Structure 1
């Protein structure tokens, strides 16, 4: 099987993945690094079992923490039993499982198979990989990965092909992955005080007490960076109405509460919800609001507003709510 046929296998696998999961998040990537072979030489062989590797991959995120990847790896050129400066290439396919570690850092593992071009021989092999993935932006992630191809047989030796690589991934349409942000959430604006004119005639100005309650919800998808407690520009803009209200009325206080979905450990969710709530409180303080007027809470995955069984529901549950409890102030009604 030549290299062109192998590339066609990758393209065919990629096309099948896209059509099979039309709502999945598609991504592509590349990687470079060091490669080496184990058990590729006998004591009497001339051996050169180290090289440099490059690879490319395409995948889709089928579920929250499960993806399917197809790739093409060039492990380099080697000399060993049955090989003289011959190349080793592999077409791979495997599911990828992610485990959140901290904010935007994930641990992942892959278990699958590969079709390996090993010099003049071709053979099926098993694939295993593990790595760390850092989500640098909403669309770009960096990977540090170790991958091994076992059971590469050329009728003389049974070798293993190894790669240690640094990679980059680009996700298509990631910022539009949930219906929550296909159209921007309508800001929960501070209600204007409706002042009705008193019936004619009005003898003199009157002071009328007005009771006010304000509640605002910030979506984590639009208000925070991915898996992060850092407020986005949209999140800062959404808080301006709260800042203006609390600046005008010194008796107003705020309760800032963070929530997450049920994905990940309870400890991680609790920590992330509190960090996001604190980021909102810090933004209010930076705009001149006294910190003593703000209460910060992290509720983790408790009190969901939608089902955690769907991607859309989980997106709604990842939120920060700002509530300004009922307070009373005076409005002067003039003729």
Structure 2
């Protein structure tokens, strides 16, 4: 049975039916004094209240209060009430539909109304195991057994049953999106396309070159391109900007006609702002009326 239970916990450790953010659990049960000759060998009525907050899909932090009424000592006329205040970390494992097993561990402080036989208020540690069953959406049955070890040497077993009232909805924080890496520049293709003055017409003699570039793009689907248009300095800056944009768009559309997906291409114009030759000569101005392709690898 222990092997079956352990296997169930391992296989289902990442699952849990409840997704409440908070819960309040009133509970009642008994405190059993063990390995302790300062109490009578009997059970004391115990009751209490717990408040828990979910901090992970199957993990809660709970604050609790227990009271044991009239715990009797080993000598006549010795008795005391015990108040316990504690915090636990709870880990849940779903093992059946609407039912889970949980383990807990924590520490607290025990306040005795009357001290006797060298027993005094003291801190304690505890651990335990429990079971939760979802009776309804907002009502869960919880039973648990805890072993409490006081720092002064006393040892108790506490068995409780209660009804948990869940509320709120736990939502996991969305993971930070991984920023997409920027495409890396592969190379710059310099088209030999030369435009007539004040024109965006592409002469037929350049069709083969554009078709070759389109074929390269189709054979390298992980690459994109920005088609950049440029002009010489003749005319106004505003006009040259528009002209360079139209020239880049003309080449881009020609590439698309050859079968390259439009979303892989972008066009930009730079007017006369990036000359590669002097604008003082006709030959230099001819070189500046150009189109380039910046090719990027995703």
TM-score interval, normalised by the smaller of the two chains? 0.3 to 0.5
Taking structure 2 as the reference length, the TM-score comes to: 0.46
Taking structure 1 as the reference length, the TM-score comes to: 0.41
Structure number with bigger Rg:
2
